[in-house]
Structure 1
Amino acid sequence: MATNFYMMEAVNLFCGDHDPSASKHLTLTEFQLPALTEKYQDHHPGGSRVGIEIDVGIEKLTPSFKLAGFDPDMLDLFGLGRKGNKVFTGYGVIRDKRTGNALEAKAIIEGRLGKIEPEAFQRGEMHGHDYAISGVLHYELWFDKREKFYWDFFTSTWRVNGKDENADERRILRIV
């Protein structure tokens, strides 16, 4: 039986680095963590009447966010001409509705600003932009100072609740 009820109350996003001037807390209207979706391949062997699905990995991670107004600094982070990835760090205030305590959620995402989609301008309405982080190569999700997920493409590390789920594979393949 669930004894806690957690609700996100507020978020902030730092785009590009942890410089306080990179905070988007005044314009951030939406922040979507990447969906965690297992990838499956259908398999229907010749000797079986029933096909099955075989898990073959995890779908690519694509977080997104929305900012109100026009942000020229975000234009600087976009484009194929930009060399290297950027770090995007999101913070959330999560309230434990049972105890009233505020807890920290943190997501660290390394990738490229792969999409800037302006909304249609309409006089008298708030104008904003939708953004997506593409080419994610590193992702961490923390809840109340505890690591929930950690994934790094280059080291082939995948941890859940601090447990290295990929240790045997890395050991056998000699990936240090």
Structure 2
Amino acid sequence: MASTIYIMEAANLYCGDHDPANSKHLTLEELKLPDLQEVLVDHQPGGGKVGVEFAVGVEKLEPTFNLKGWDPVLLRQFGLGSRERRVFTAYGVVRDKRSGRAIEAKAVMEGRLSRIAPAAFQRGEAMSHEYSINEVLHYEVHFDGAEEMYWDFFTNTFRLGGVDPDPEFNNILRIGNAG
């Protein structure tokens, strides 16, 4: 397959279900999917000359987004006012720069709206708010209709490209994998 470049051109975020009232396409300024970062532990072997680090898991996921203006509906979904997790679904228009074809990128995140940080008000400028989604217990990424990443806390399911990279893990621990 010939090399290409994929460029994100536009994004939308649904905060909750796909009710058109939950679409943030008119106010979305910035969307940041969670960093994917392994947890590493250092090991200094007593008889070794060089230390190493071992991967032992993945850091918690924390997506963020910025919206222009005020959003009273999201304010009511904040933290202690709502103990339930919500589904946040992000859609992106990604352009294949070789062919010109528009491709759908989609991320589904289930978590709690745990941070709302208002920007400073400046006369003559539209105030915005930065939001953080924490307690993320489900995350999936799709590109051009294909599952690229899937993780679910409760079923302990993890897949990359639709494949579990470590199928023995849940089998050894006798964890039923409902994913």
Q: TM-score range by the shorter chain?
A: over 0.9
Task: Identify the residue that residue 110 of structure 2 maps to in structure 1.
Answer: 110
C-alpha distance in structure 1 between counterparts of 2:173 and 2:2, whole Å: 40
What's the CA shift for 1:45?
1.5
Uncovered stretches (5+) of structure 2, i.e. residues with no partner: none
Task: Identify the residue that residue 61 of structure 1 maps to in structure 2.
Answer: 61
Task: Identify the residue that residue 125 of structure 1 maps to in structure 2.
Answer: 125
Task: Identify the residue that residue 9 of structure 1 maps to in structure 2.
Answer: 9
What amino acid is the match of 1:127?
Answer: M
User: Greater CA deviation, 97-106 or 11-20?
Assistant: 11-20
Specify whether residues 60 and 38 from structure 1 end up closer, same or farther in structure 2 by C-alpha distance, changes over 3 A only: same
What's the CA shift for 1:2?
6.2
What are the superposed Cα offsets for residues 57-80 of structure 1, whole Å, 9 maximum, x if unpaired?
111110000000001011111022
Task: Identify the residue that residue 72 of structure 1 maps to in structure 2.
Answer: 72
C-alpha distance in structure 2 between counterparts of 1:82 and 1:105, whole Å: 29
Is the contact made by 1:157 and 1:167 (CA closer than 8 Å) also made in structure 2?
no
Q: What secondary structure, in the 3-state scheme, does the structure 1 residue paired with 2:80 have?
A: coil
What's the CA shift for 1:4?
1.0
C-alpha distance in structure 2 between counterparts of 1:163 and 1:60, whole Å: 21
Q: Say yes or no: does 1:161 pair with 2:137.
A: no
C-alpha distance in structure 1 between counterparts of 2:2 and 2:60, whole Å: 31
C-alpha distance in structure 1 between counterparts of 2:74 and 2:104, whole Å: 25
User: Greater CA deviation, 72-81 or 93-102?
Assistant: 72-81
Q: What secondary structure, in the 3-state scheme, does the structure 1 residue paired with 2:25 have?
A: coil
Uncovered stretches (5+) of structure 1, i.e. residues with no partner: none
Aligned positions of 1:84-103 closer than 5 A:
84-103=84-103
What's the CA shift for 1:94?
0.2
C-alpha distance in structure 2 between counterparts of 1:166 and 1:88, whole Å: 28
Q: What secondary structure, in the 3-state scheme, does the structure 2 residue paired with 1:155 have?
A: coil
What's the CA shift for 1:172?
1.3
User: Which TM-score applies when normalising by structure 1?
Assistant: 0.97
C-alpha distance in structure 2 between counterparts of 1:166 and 1:173, whole Å: 12
What are the superposed Cα offsets for residues 125-147 of structure 1, whole Å, 9 maximum, x if unpaired?
12100001001000000000000
Output the aligned Cα RMSD: 1.2
Q: Say yes or no: does 1:173 pair with 2:173.
A: yes
What are the superposed Cα offsets for residues 142-173 of structure 1, whole Å, 9 maximum, x if unpaired?
00000000000011111000001242111111
Task: Identify the residue that residue 44 of structure 1 maps to in structure 2.
Answer: 44
What amino acid is the match of 2:111?
Answer: G
Among all aligned residue pairs of Structure 1 and Structure 2, give the percentage whose two residues are the same amino acid: 58
